[in-house]
Structures are given as structure tokens and as C-alpha cells.
A and B are shown apart, each in its own frame.
Chain A
């Protein structure tokens, strides 16, 4: 079966995609209140020095996300 979405974890450096939905409702609460909404374009900037965290840009806002947080944000293909 073909996947209909991917997550931030799948983004390459400098690649960007639109967010569609959030898998984790607690995180959804946090991210939406920070202004990361469905439809926001998310760009991967870099991974943290020791791995497992991502530096992303969402609509001009720079954010640091943990691996599992990044994995719960669904992006359009």
C-alpha cells in the first residue's frame, strides 16, 4: 500500500512541505498554540549535533522538535 503522507522525519535538509495533520493531540495542542497549523509550510533546516532533534522553520518561526514530535506531524507528499 502506498503511504498517503510523510512526516518531518522524512524531509531532507532544506526540503519543505505543508503540514496536514497532527497525530498526537497533546502535541497538536502545543504546536497549534505556537502557530504551527495544518497548512503551515515546514522546512527542515538541520538535525541536532547528537541527533534526535530537528531544527525546522514553520512559516518563518524557528522551532526545535524532538524526533518523536517530528514524527507525529503529518506532511503532504
Chain B
């Protein structure tokens, strides 16, 4: 983790930092969106895969500050990696995220539960504003708050606000501005009084590690073993202190928590008048159905069907527009610019790459639109409750269901949707196994190969054998995903305490601003994070199939022209032949020939090898490349579009006629076709997915591991299938 020196006092050189902190379900993100609007972006805390949202706010006096949205936290005694981030930053004034001012958000309708973390932060003696959120619902429920009294007792400004309506946002900004400009040192008596042993431990840690605040010293004592910024010598020092004082950390944490409740419960009771009971029967009635034994899962699968429909079907319209738009743009440039390598770089490299990025946007936007709504209304935690056990067996989380189901449309948005899983290991496993689910890009490959290898006969008079095999491919992907999850769980086997223990929040209408900002933020981070990589790889793949060693390409072109002239071919046929020969002579073609010995055991020849390489940009390129290699006309070759059954039939005929150059046997035997099917079902043949995995896990390690593992598995399985059927 980077250590920036805390530059207190030298004014402009460090931007003012404000930390937004609060419990989960306190409406914190609504407040964040209210304060920052579109001036926000998502990043990661260094070293961990916990997200931090960062936004700019302006005080009424024009001063600018950075607002960091920390993950929802119950306590500075963390039980998850999300919560550990907050404790880490608060324990380390040198941390780049360490705030100048704290903005604490509490749900005023649950104030007696939401002040624990607040009182802990009070004892760190940072300037702080307490925002009592959902003041509008509180008024509706007949809850009266005496914020003046709370402010006097806690010694911090207290502002009742509503993140949804924006009520009192200005006052909140004014109070923060006041804290910043006054810059007065904070004199507060500690909220929590240490026990005798806590005093001794905190004092010893304070002196040895030169920490100013006693409570920060106590926190450091509790957390020393895992705090990432402590040096080993410091960890040993603290461990020795804990040992000599026989300090029981966990016990002390629970006792302190209870003591804090005992102290602030009377305060909240005095400052807030709550009507006798507001049982929220609406939520209970909804949950009686949505978490019902039978109806719960049924409704969930119907909802998932809707999600699937959205990304599989509805998004194809905007996707087609984007593809057509880029195709037209490419044609335009081809016709206007001279026929040279740089025109091809522009059309086949850059434009194809940009199109390849943008084409994902409709799916990502639609998926996140639906997921944000489900998250906003409070449904997602019910999903976790219902599927916790099922998914935990395979190392995942109830929320992973959404990723896996979305994965059958496209792994890219599906992997991004795993962001809602807070447990790192469960999220990692979800990210790693989602690409096994057969995505829509595999469909054209499946269709061509199944049509080639599987006879169109009926089984038992009802089932079409081809459809059965098609279904079996999906089942293969699903089973492999679960098996891989199970294996990864065994392999990682972290002894980290994992809890379900989640709050099931009250159902409420989605706040549309949150939904739309969430969609925007996810689309933006996909384009900025994974898009760059996709563009670079697209250009690299173009270069590989455009250029060859020495003058091989020019030679191939010449001999193709001679051959075409001899056979008396027309212009299009000549062009097709030239294209075919050029691809064969290119680096990609060379690589295909070079790798033939490696893929021959699977029953593939070098042409399939080329298609395997080029389809690394996107699986559906497989059929397009084969069309070029088997010298199909342009019109025939457009088989990626689902309606072009004729083109598929033509390709199939060409494939059937293909023979191995040495043995003279047909390339596409049943065994080869099945082996290719299995290979495509299991292999990581999608660079966009790898780019997203890198973006989501923070480095190339997991993306690389995923690539190696899936490729090896695909290779072995394809080989086994080939051997079995030949």
C-alpha cells in the first residue's frame, strides 16, 4: 500500500478529503449521489479489491473537496474485508484515504442501531458531522428528533437530511465547510472509558508506536496482526504487549461494544420520540411471498428469466445498431481512403476494436439497470438468504446466481455484476467460474459444428438429437462452473470467518437517480478499465493476420493472382482467393501451422488453429475466419447473424469437404466436431472477458490463472472426446 505523508497544514498541496461513513442500509450511497452527482468515479483501495467511490463536492464558499464513499460498516471491529478497509484507514493517519473531515450518515428511523460506529469514530477525535438520513420518512412515521440536543451531547454538528429529496443538503455542506475553515483542534472527552487492562495496553502501544490518540492505540492493539501498514517489528511489539498483559482481544471488543450501547441508548431515547410501534407490515407481507419456500425461488427464477431476456434479446437491437454503424463507418473509410495498411489498421483494427467494446455497452447497461433496481428495493439480500447454502457448497454466494444466469448471455456484464458480493473469496470464485457458462457468442460456433456432426434425427419421436446436443453443451458449461467452484473453494480454503448474518432491509421504492448513476458508473468503468485492453488486443490480432514474416504476404498475393488468372476467376473470386492466401501466409497463419502438432491430438488441422487464434478476440470470429480460409464469398461468409442459415449450410459443405493434407482423411469427422464443441464450451476464448477479470480482480494474476486453467481443461476434455469418438 502506498504511504503518502499526511500533509497537514500546507494548504493547497493536498486536496481536502472527506470520508462518508455509515452502516449498511443507512442510505449512504443516496447521500453520496446527492452530493456528487455525475462528478464521481469508482476505484479500488490499494492492495484489496474493495471498492471506493470518489466524488467531488463544492462548499458554498467555492472550496473543493474529495468525498470518499467508504463501504458500509457496522463497527471498527471488522468481520469482513469491506469493514477492514474502514478500520485500516482510520488506524493510519498516513493513509492516502485518511480524511480531514468525517461525514457520518445514520438512518434516523434506526438510530439506536446506527450510532455504534459513530461513537467509535468520536473517540478518534476527528472533525465530524452527523447526518440523520431519511428525515422525510421519519416525519412520515411520526418520529421527532431533537438534533440540537444530540449535537450538544456528542459535541458535533447534527443535520437531519434526506438523501432522496435533497432536503438540507446545503446545510450539511455549510456545516462541513465550517469544520474545515475553523480548523479548531477538537476537545472531546472520550465517549467510552477504557477498562484497566485496556488502559495499560493502549498506553503501552501508544508509547511504543508513537500514536497520539489512546483509542487509535487500542484499535491498533486489537488489529495489529492484520493491519497492512504496520511493519513486522511493530506487529511483534504489539503482540508482545498483548501477551504480557494477557489481553483477550475478542472478549474486550464485545464488552466495549455493549458498553457503548449502554451509553448511547439512553441518549437516543431522550433525543428521539418514537411513536409506540411502527411494525412495517408491508415488508412482512411481501416477504411472506418473496421468501416463501416455494414462491420465493419460483419468483426468483422468473425475475432471472426477465434479466436473461433483457440481455439476450432486448439488447440485440442496440447491439445490431452499433455493429451496423461501425460496419458503415468502416466502409466509408475504405471507400474514401487509399487502399493501404493504415486504412486497414483504421477499419479492421481500431474501428473493429472500438465496435467490439461498445457492443457490450447495451448488455452492461441493461443488466446493471435491472440489478440496481433489485438491489435498491432490497430484494438482493433476500436472494442471498434463499440461496446461501446452495451456492456456498460451491464456494459462492447467493448473489452469484445472478452472475451465473447473466453469464449465459455474456460473461462480461455477468462478471461485473459480481461486484455486489462483499466476501472476496466468494466473489473471486464467481468471477473465475462464470465464463464456463455458455454465452451467446458460443451459439454460432455450436450451431455450425452441431449441424456438421450431429444427424438431425428424432429421439423417441419427439426430441431432435441436434437440440439435445445443443442443450447438453449448456449443461456441460453449468456443471463445469459448479465443479470448478467446488474445487476452487477446496483449494483456496481460507480460514477467514465467513458469516451470513445479513440485514434484510425494509422494502422501498428504487431511487432512480441511484439506479441511473450506477448504470452510468458501470458502463464508464468498463470502457475505461477493460476497453483499453480490448482495443489493444484487437489491433494486435489485426496486425498478426495482416502482416507476415519477410515478404511472405506479398509472395502469397502474387501467386494467388497468378492462380486466379490461370483458372479464369472473376474479380470477387480473385479477391477471396487473395484474402485466403494472405491469411495463410500471415503471422497468424504461420502460428496455426506451427501449432498444428499441438492440436493434432484433438483432431484439428492448422486452419482450425488459425481460427482458434483469431477467435480469441471474440468466439464468433471462429466461423468468420473459417469462412475466409475455406474461401467463401463475402455474402456467404456473413454467418454470425443468426438468420443466415444458408450461409451456415455453405460453410458446413466446405467444412465437410476439407481433408488433412498429409493423410487425405476428412478433417471434420464426428470426433473432431465434438472435440471442437467441447473445446469451445470450456476454453477461455474471449479476451474481453480476461480484460474484465483483470479489471475486477485488480491484477493479471487471476485472469492469467483463469486462462491457463480453462485452456488446459478444454484441451484435455477435447482430447478425451476425440479419442473416445475416433
Q: Which residues of B contact A28 (CB under 8 A)?
A: 250, 254
Q: CB distance A38 to B113 under 8 Å? A: no
B439 adjacent to chain A (CB < 8 Å): no
A34 touches B113 (CB 8 A): yes
Q: Looking at the complex, which of B477-485, B500-508, B582-590 is the stretch in contact with chain A? A: B500-508
A25 touching B294, Cβ below 8 Å: no
27 A-B contact pairs sorted by A residue (CB < 8 Å)? A27-B499, A28-B250, A29-B79, A29-B250, A29-B253, A31-B501, A32-B258, A33-B116, A35-B110, A35-B112, A35-B116, A45-B284, A49-B292, A49-B293, A49-B386, A50-B297, A50-B386, A52-B389, A53-B385, A53-B386, A53-B388, A53-B500, A60-B280, A63-B502, A66-B501, A69-B499, A69-B500
Q: Known contacts A25-B251, A49-B294, A62-B283; decide if A30 and B501 are in contact (CB<8 Å).
A: yes
Bound-state Cα–Cα, A35 to B714, Å: 49
B257 proximal to A (CB < 8 A): yes
B291 touches A25 (CB 8 A): no
Q: Does A61 contact B (CB under 8 A)?
A: yes
B528 to chain A: closest CB distance in Å?
Answer: 35
Q: Could you tell me the distance between the alpha carbons of A53 and B294 in the complex, rounded to whole angstroms?
A: 15
Cβ-based interface call for B474 (8 A):
no
Contacts of A30 in B (CB 8 A): 74, 79, 499, 501
Residues of chain B at the chain A interface (Cβ within 8 Å): 74-75, 77, 79, 110, 112-113, 116-117, 250-251, 253-254, 257-258, 261, 279-280, 283-284, 287, 291-294, 296-297, 381, 384-390, 497, 499-506
- Would you call B497 and A26 a contact (CB within 8 A)? yes
B115 closest partner in A (C-beta)? A35
B386 and A48 contacting across the interface, CB-CB below 8 Å: yes
A36 → B minimal CB distance (Å): 9
Verify if A20 is at the interface (C-beta below 8 Å from B).
no
Contact A62 B74 (CB under 8 A): no
The residue on A at minimum CB distance from B283 is: A62
Contacts of B294 in A (CB 8 A): 49
**Which B residues touch A65, using CB under 8 A?**
500-501
Query: Most chain-B CB neighbours within 10 Å: which of A47, A60, A69?
Result: A60
Q: How far is the CA of A56 from the CA of B113 in the complex (A)?
A: 17
The 6 A-B pairs of least Cβ separation, nearest first, read A35-B113, A33-B75, A33-B74, A64-B385, A62-B504, A25-B250
- What's the Cα separation between A28 and B499 when bound, in Å? 11
Question: Quick one: which of A34, A38, A55 contacts B501, CB cutoff 8 A?
Answer: A34
Whether A48 and B389, one on each chain, are in contact in the complex, defined by CB atoms closer than 8 angstroms, is: yes
Q: Which of A22, A37, A50, A62 contacts B261 (CB 8 A)?
A: A37
| Contact between B291 and A55, CB atoms less than 8 A apart | yes
Least Cβ distance of B385 to chain A in Å?
Answer: 4
For the side of the interface on A, what is the size category?
20 to 34
Whether A26 pairs with B501 at a CB distance below 8 angstroms is no
Chain A minimum-CB-distance residue to B114: A35
Interface of A is mostly: mixed
A60 and B145 CA atoms in complex are apart in Å by: 19
A residues lining the B interface (CB < 8 Å)? 22, 25-35, 37-38, 45-53, 55, 60-66, 69
Tell me if B502 and A26 are in contact (CB < 8 A): no
The reply to whether A64 and B381 form a contact with Cβ atoms under 8 Å apart is: yes
Residues of A within 8 A of B74 (CB): 30, 33-34
Q: How far is the CA of A69 from the CA of B502 in the complex (A)?
A: 11
Asked if B500 and A55 sit within 8 Å, CB to CB, the answer is no
Instruction: Chain A residues near B283: list those with CB within 8 A.
Output: 62
Known: A25-B254, A29-B75, A62-B283. A50 touches B390 (CB 8 A): yes
Report which of A26, A35, A55 forms a contact with B79, defined as CB distance below 8 A: A26
A64 to B293, CA, bound (A): 15
Give A64 Cβ to nearest chain B Cβ, in Å.
4
A60 to B505, CA, bound (A): 11
Contact A33-B257, Cβ < 8 Å, known A55-B385, A64-B388: yes
Chain A nearest CB from B281 CB (Å) reads 12
User: Contact between B75 and A53 (Cβ–Cβ < 8 Å)?
Assistant: no
CB contact under 8 A between A51 and B389, given known A29-B75, A34-B113, A62-B283: yes
Which A residues touch B504, using CB under 8 A? Answer: 55, 62-64
Bound-state CA distance A26–B504 (Å) is 21
8 more CB-based (< 8 A) A-B contacts, given A31-B501, A55-B287: A29-B257, A33-B117, A35-B112, A52-B388, A61-B110, A62-B505, A66-B388, A69-B500
Evaluate contact between B501 and A48: CB separation under 8 angstroms: no
Contact: A64 with B250, CB < 8 Å? no
- A49 lies within 8 A of B296 (CB): yes
In the bound assembly, the distance between CA atoms of A22 and B280 in angstroms comes to 28
A50 to B293, alpha carbons, bound, how many Å?
7
Contact indicator A32/B257 (Cβ below 8 Å): yes
Which of B293, B381, B385, B386 has most A Cβ within 10 Å?
A: B385
- Which residues in B have their C-beta under 8 angstroms from that of A27? 499, 501
Shortest distance from the beta carbon of A68 to any chain B beta carbon, whole Å: 9
Question: A29, A33, A61: which has the most chain B beta carbons within 10 Å?
Answer: A33
With CB as the reference atom, state the residue of chain B lying closest to A68: B500
**Closest Cβ–Cβ distance, residue A3 to chain B (whole Å):** 23
The residues of A that contact B500 with a CB separation of less than 8 Å are: 53, 64-66, 69
Which residue of A32, A62, A64 is within 8 Å of B254 (Cβ)? A32
Q: A46-B291, A51-B389 are in contact. Are A29 and B254 (CB under 8 A)?
A: yes
User: Within 8 Å CB of B117, what residues of A?
Assistant: 33
Question: Would you give the shortest CB distance from B436 to chain A, in whole angstroms?
Answer: 23
Contacts of A38 in B (CB 8 A): 258
